[in-house]
Amino acid sequence: MQFGLLFAVQSVIPLWREVEYYKDYQKKLRDYLGENKANTIITEALYLISIGTNDFLENYYTVPGGRQSHYTIDQYQDFLIGLAGNFIMEIYSLGARKISLTGFPPMGCLPLERTANYFSGHGDGCIESYNVVAKNFNGKLSGLVNKLNNELSGIKLIFSSPYGILMQMVRKPSLYGKFLSLILSGIGNLMMH
């Protein structure tokens, strides 16, 4: 019940429903283009998947009595890896062959997390423990990609990690031109640097 409510509040579509939507899309595509042309589009399309960041930040860390009370961080990572693997195998069984699985960003450096860190009295830096979780999860996702590439015939599954480039942007923003910085004093001021 609580997780159903969370989906409703956040407007998150659970993976099983995304699969159902995908099946509906395939049916409409086949009705419109015919079986052969639709199958070609389905197998040649590139599928981009991002999974887990909100699951950790919202379901694990934020919801009181939620996932954190039932799982260790490592167990929850394994739970999410299982969901990702099942989702990929499901869309593979429906014809998906070219898939990019995106890893976690440095989620401890996301603006909301840095702001929460500041207001809880820990400064305006990143929450490093969240970044450690992100790096560990990315390692597990990469392992899943290797495993599925070996098990599923004809799949071209790649792991795409935004962690490194985004962390570089956090550490050396001047390398990327002008940027907006939130100065956290009082209610905060938006200033150009």
pLDDT at 4: 42
Residue 28 has pLDDT above 70, yes or no: yes
* Percent of the chain's residues with pLDDT above 70: 84
φ, ψ at 152 (rounded to 5°): -105, 115
Tell me the mean pLDDT in the region 2-16.
57
Q: Work out how many domains the chain is built from and give that number.
A: 1
Residue 142 has pLDDT above 80, yes or no: yes
> Across the chain, what does the average pLDDT equal?
83
pLDDT at 134: 95
Q: How many Cα atoms are found within 13 Å in the side-chain-facing hemisphere of 13?
A: 9
- CB–CB of 60/68 below 8 Å? yes
Model confidence pTM above 0.85: no
Residue 181 has pLDDT above 50, yes or no: no
Residue 189 has pLDDT above 70, yes or no: no
Q: How many Cα atoms are found within 13 Å in the side-chain-facing hemisphere of 148?
A: 29
More reliable by pLDDT, 4 or 133? 133
| Residue 43: CB atoms within 10 Å | 12
In whole angstroms, give the CA distance from residue 125 to residue 188: 16
| Residue 58, amino acid | E
Q: What is the pLDDT of residues 108-134, one digit of tens each?
A: 888 778 777 777 777 778 889 999 999
pLDDT at 55: 82
Residue 103 has pLDDT above 70, yes or no: yes
What's 14's DSSP letter? P
Range of the domain at 175: 2-192
Q: Which two tokens stand for residue 35?
A: 């079986």
pLDDT tier, 180 (very low <50, low <70, confident <90, very high otherwise):
very low
Residue 187 has pLDDT above 60, yes or no: no
